[in-house]
Structure 1
Amino acid sequence: MMSRLPLLFAVPLALSMPAGVCAKDAPAISVETLKTIDKELSSDAFEGRAPTTPAEDKTVAYIIAQMKAAGLQPGNKGSWTQDVPMVESTFANISPLVFVGGSAPVSLAPNTDMVVRSYRVLPQIAVKDSEVVFVGYGINAPERGWNDYAGVDVRGKTVIILVNDPDWQTPAREGLFEGRAMTYYGRWTYKYEEAARQGAAAAIIVHDTEPAAYGWGVVESSNTRPSLELDVPGDHLDQSAAIGWMQLDAAKRVFASAGTDFASLSEAAKVKGFKAVPLGLKASVSMTATIKRQKSKNVIGVLPGKTAPKDYVLYTAHWDHLGRCTPVKGDTICNGAVDNASGIAGLIALAEAYTKAGPAARSVAFLAVTAEESGLLGSQYYAEHPVYPLAQTVGGVNMDSLNVIGLSKDFVVTGAGKSELEDLIVPLAAAQDRVIKPEPSPERGGYFRSDHFSFAKLGVPMLDAGSGQDLVKGGTAAGRAAAEDYVTNRYHKPQDEYNADWDWSGAVADLTLYYRLGRQLADGKSWPNWYKTAEFRSVRDKSRAGQ
């Protein structure tokens, strides 16, 4: 849920280029392909492309047809798809989240004051009279000397957690948690994971628009639709019974009832050594769930390599979106034209470019994954059950939302400073007279919010990068205005619709870079790694040992 916002809207040694490979050589990227596929996939006929709905069958069939037309071969032992076992929970009868024991009971209404759901696969979920503890940012990071759970037992209790990292307001990328740049400890996914490890019965994150990097509407739309998880043994019973968010004003009311000040405790939570604070309250919430087990699908096409067919370069994009969501002016379909019909259009356009140029030395795989919006589930499943061994996957590029507002002068790498793929992209960007710039909004934690992260965790270097906000027409003012407009009015809303007036020149420039990078890898013999300081280096070294 809450996938990465588009980058627009939001000195290591270089690896040598293999002999005979010219990074500037690239077949033209078809704008017509981009327009046609984006328009079709984001039309109302595809109903927002929600996984495990009838719209999935139509979406998958369309992508397969486009891969065939582009000249790819089935990528999974003669099949175009990989089954991804899913369990869907549709929650109903959600009670208010009620806090008692303070100066007065506080009742938070579903959707308006709070949202709540569960990872557990059970028909009935209830948390009753659970003691409430404020655990600051909910971080347990021993390597940084930080533990918000130190000295407190939260088993069976409800924890209230702040979003982002303790130093998110630091302007520079400095500090224990990298300042303005969000670490994984700042992501809502981590906070639920750690709360479950600590035995919490419920984990509720306080929503604040700036550190969260999206408004309440995004939280509501992402948490009030059916919830998808991978269908695994144990039915996720090791997770907290209830997980959710509460509005900032609601949190202030809860803390006031407890006789304490939310703002003061939030400030205290930013300081190393903060101790969790029992609020003297008890929380209760309940819901029912209709459970459906079924399979979704990743779609895989491949262009086999000529001389090293068992080495793979990978391109990824997610095909899913939110399906039907919170209505806006009577429109209930979240079409996902930018997020991420544009990425699938780019995937097919790249496949066309590769087949026009002819096979490379290594194989090139094109992977359209499911359920990114539900927590990167399709890419997680592929990474954990790879069709092509991860040790033989050289690296690749993930595409989550293309630039549809025109050429930019800059190129931005999400989570820069992690892998040697970044060294390779610098001269390719320079060849387009573009400069590499830092992320405009590192506090959004973009590196942890799209499918490249599933591969990174298991050691595969994947580039997630794209146009920055310094537009050729209008400069940074125009770029920032477009970013604000998209985040406020379209992101994860029905208004993310195809527009015939879009300017695809920026997307073409980015896709050309992606092609040149991938082709360089596919026609070469190098194995880019993570930098020695990157958290994924040891995983990659271990997987590549003995190859």
Structure 2
Amino acid sequence: MKTCHMMWALSLITIFTLSACQNSQTTETSQVDNFDEVYTQINTQDLKTHIKTLASDEYEGRLPTTIGEQKTLDYLVSEFKALGYQPGNGDSYLQPVELIEMTADPDMTLTIGDNHLAYKEGMIASTKREQNLVELKESDLVFVGYGVNAPEYNWNDYEGLDVKGKTVVILVNDPGFENPASGKFQGKTMTYYGRWSYKYEEASRQGAEAAIIVHETKPASYGWSVVANSWSGAQYGLVSKNGNADRVAVEGWLTLESAQKVFADAGLDFTAEKELAKAGPYNKALNLKASVTVKNSFKTSESYNVIASLPGADSPDEHVIFTAHWDHLGKDETKEGDQIYNGAHDNATGVAAALVMAKAYANLNIKPQRSTTFLIVTAEEQGLLGSKYYSEHPIIPLDKTVANINMDAMSVLGKTKDVAVIGMGKSELETYLAKAAKRQNRYLVEEGHPEAGYYYRSDHFSFAKQGVPALYAKGGEVPVDEATAQYRKRTNVIVRGCYHQVCDQFRESWDLSGIEEDAQLLFKVGYDLLSSDDWPNWAETSEFQRQK
């Protein structure tokens, strides 16, 4: 009997030993680094599925606070849940963003001297003030050049000028754009002083009653139709405690033709005055009066950012945040024929890239040490409002936010040999990007049109203003082969022509391999940051620094 007991005991030991070995082997297998496998799982088919869904007519152009928003939120939350991501805002995947929706009655005319300018044809006017009626009555008109007050560049177009109660007329972009050899500002590369948002902000600080920007396609980097479509209809802002009483009463645009007529009525040549404004700080009274009545309806509402996280293995309180904006322009029921601004390129592509990257991180066997967070924001088209709100009301402390990586209007033009860095030279994130690009046998270049100021036109800028290093990069302009070059020529005409138009729709002819490659690229950048304890810094020459 004793021998039998001993044999039974030895058998149990053998069984337990074999079981432990098998469990150990299973654990080791699950912990095998599968980065390369996951990297290649980022594919065009998944991208296509997401783009087609989000840009479908069913989503009605994804305008904030509409049924299109609800469908978009439901889709995104469902996707993140299915991937195993945790709610990023307590027990919710949503962050409420308080918006005010303001709609100007299109039945308005801007009168300047003898010129009666029609809405959307010769001008656009609106107000950010929470008032039902805003009247500009016989307001003195003053040309203030580029409307810039920049001490670091020794430039102040408002110097010695009192514009209280007056209407200022402002050139688009900044003084360096059309005079790059002058050494002024940053040459063709736009600074924030060239953005329309800055110009209205500065005019408000100066006490002006109204601010009107002269539109020109080349320095603006977009045509008048973009202004007319983007600035008409419902406009959104963040709810303000003072009802935006500190903003200029009227914010507007003039077509170039309208501006030329106005200057001619003042006995001036627009081109000659512009040359003087380019040469140095400049302002001049036009001796004309401006009048317009803006009838305004407004209501407050809530839209939502979507936020989802995968906790890090070792430093879960440190996050790399990936952003894309889910919103577009909705629909215009006054249009004949197609009324829906589907926003396939802008920005169903960026959201699709975010979702396929989120899937890739979820499929990693070995979880990175830091937390992976996706923030899909609202109201980008209305002035980066969703990301602005988040950066001012962060759920993850900004000093625990390692970096931001942004995806907006990804390239549908096929693979490229180069990677365009928007705002090149701003931060050490480009070191990580260069490493990821080398893996793909690609190289980094400055963006093709730095004069357009794209670094200040997407959601990463909201993080940059708060001192968080932010990266915005995508496929460049050197096609990978001749077939791609020919495809790019055909497709680029459509892409550019459909910016903020109803024709920005998904097309079966699109070559999504460029987005696949760029999503893999940014996935690698994020992975290296998530797997590190480094804190990338801004370049010494950058205007941004981490907030202390």
Change (3 A) 1:171 1:157: closer
Whether 1:117 and 2:126 are equivalent positions in the alignment is yes
Query: Aligned-pair distance for 1:66?
Result: 1.1
Whether 1:440 and 2:440 are equivalent positions in the alignment is no
Contact 2:418 2:444 in 1 (8 A): yes
Change (3 A) 1:40 1:258: same
Root-mean-square deviation (Å): 1.8
Aligned to 1:7: none
Aligned to 1:352: 359
Residues 260-299 of structure 1: pairs in structure 2 closer than 5 A: 260-272=268-280, 274-299=281-306
Give, in whole Å, the separation in 1 of the partners of 2:306 and 2:34: 30
Counterpart of 2:375 in 1: which secondary structure?
strand
Whether 1:221 and 2:229 are equivalent positions in the alignment is yes
Residues 7-26 of structure 1: pairs in structure 2 closer than 5 A: 26=38
1:332 to 317, 320, 339: 339
2:147 to 125, 138, 150: 138
Give, in whole Å, the separation in 2 of the partners of 1:382 and 1:447: 18
Whether 1:77 and 2:90 are equivalent positions in the alignment is yes
Give, in whole Å, the separation in 1 of the partners of 2:37 and 2:436: 11
Give, in whole Å, the separation in 2 of the partners of 1:30 and 1:67: 18
Query: Aligned-pair distance for 1:325?
Result: 3.7
Change (3 A) 1:22 1:195: farther
Query: Aligned-pair distance for 1:503?
Result: 1.3
Measured against aligned partners, the alpha-carbon deviations of 1:63-94 in whole angstroms (never above 9, x if no partner) come to 10111122211111110100000000111154
Aligned to 1:4: none
Contact 1:221 1:326 in 2 (8 A): no
Whether 1:97 and 2:110 are equivalent positions in the alignment is yes
Give, in whole Å, the separation in 2 of the partners of 1:276 and 1:44: 48
**Higher relative helix content:** 2
Contact 1:471 1:478 in 2 (8 A): no
Aligned to 2:434: 426
Counterpart of 1:76 in 2: which secondary structure?
coil
Give, in whole Å, the separation in 2 of the partners of 1:271 and 1:481: 40
Contact 1:24 1:428 in 2 (8 A): no
Give, in whole Å, the separation in 1 of the partners of 2:502 and 2:265: 37
Give, in whole Å, the separation in 1 of the partners of 2:452 and 2:468: 23
2:413 to 405, 419, 425: 405
Give, in whole Å, the separation in 2 of the partners of 1:482 and 1:528: 37
Measured against aligned partners, the alpha-carbon deviations of 1:393-442 in whole angstroms (never above 9, x if no partner) come to 00031000112221111101101111000111112112211121121111
Whether 1:155 and 2:154 are equivalent positions in the alignment is no
Counterpart of 1:354 in 2: which secondary structure?
helix
Query: Aligned-pair distance for 1:381?
Result: 0.4
Query: Aligned-pair distance for 1:469?
Result: 1.4
Counterpart of 1:270 in 2: which secondary structure?
helix
Give, in whole Å, the separation in 1 of the partners of 2:173 and 2:264: 23
Measured against aligned partners, the alpha-carbon deviations of 1:446-490 in whole angstroms (never above 9, x if no partner) come to 0000000000000111110000111113366754664343222x1
Residue type of the alignment partner of 1:51 = P
Counterpart of 2:278 in 1: which secondary structure?
coil
Contact 1:404 1:502 in 2 (8 A): yes
Aligned to 2:509: 501
Residues 7-86 of structure 1: pairs in structure 2 closer than 5 A: 26-27=38-39, 28-86=41-99
Measured against aligned partners, the alpha-carbon deviations of 1:143-177 in whole angstroms (never above 9, x if no partner) come to 110000011111110000000111212457x7221
Whether 1:300 and 2:307 are equivalent positions in the alignment is yes
Give, in whole Å, the separation in 2 of the partners of 1:383 and 1:454: 6
Residue type of the alignment partner of 1:152 = L
Give, in whole Å, the separation in 1 of the partners of 2:252 and 2:67: 28
TM-score, structure 1 normalization: 0.91
Change (3 A) 1:271 1:25: farther
Give, in whole Å, the separation in 2 of the partners of 1:279 and 1:170: 25
Give, in whole Å, the separation in 2 of the partners of 1:138 and 1:478: 41
1:374 to 370, 374, 382: 382
Residue type of the alignment partner of 1:227 = Q
Give, in whole Å, the separation in 2 of the partners of 1:228 and 1:493: 19
2:191 to 179, 183, 186: 183
Counterpart of 2:297 in 1: which secondary structure?
strand
Contact 2:59 2:68 in 1 (8 A): yes
Contact 2:34 2:364 in 1 (8 A): no
Whether 1:204 and 2:212 are equivalent positions in the alignment is yes
Residues 238-253 of structure 1: pairs in structure 2 closer than 5 A: 238-253=246-261
Aligned to 1:3: none
Residue type of the alignment partner of 2:135 = A
Residue type of the alignment partner of 2:352 = A
Contact 2:178 2:188 in 1 (8 A): yes
Contact 2:127 2:294 in 1 (8 A): no
Q: Which runs of no fewer than 5 residues in structure 2 stay unpaired? A: 1-31
Give, in whole Å, the separation in 1 of the partners of 2:313 and 2:102: 45
Measured against aligned partners, the alpha-carbon deviations of 1:178-220 in whole angstroms (never above 9, x if no partner) come to 1111111111111111011111111110011111100011010
Deviates more, 1:449-458 or 1:472-481: 472-481
Contact 1:336 1:496 in 2 (8 A): yes
Q: Which runs of no fewer than 5 residues in structure 1 stay unpaired? A: 1-19
Query: Aligned-pair distance for 1:262?
Result: 0.6
Deviates more, 1:478-487 or 1:353-362: 478-487
TM-score, structure 2 normalization: 0.91
Residue type of the alignment partner of 2:288 = L
Give, in whole Å, the separation in 2 of the partners of 1:140 and 1:86: 29
Change (3 A) 1:480 1:465: farther
Residue type of the alignment partner of 1:244 = G
Give, in whole Å, the separation in 1 of the partners of 2:487 and 2:106: 45
Identity of aligned residues (%): 46
Counterpart of 2:339 in 1: which secondary structure?
strand
Change (3 A) 1:151 1:171: closer
Change (3 A) 1:213 1:23: farther
Query: Aligned-pair distance for 1:380?
Result: 0.3
**Higher Cα Rg: structure 1 or 2?**
2
Give, in whole Å, the separation in 2 of the partners of 1:132 and 1:480: 44
Contact 1:328 1:494 in 2 (8 A): no
Counterpart of 1:407 in 2: which secondary structure?
coil
Which has the bigger relative contact order, CA under 8 A and spacing at least 6?
1
Aligned to 2:325: 318
Give, in whole Å, the separation in 2 of the partners of 1:427 and 1:309: 25
Task: Give the length in aligned residue pairs.
Answer: 514
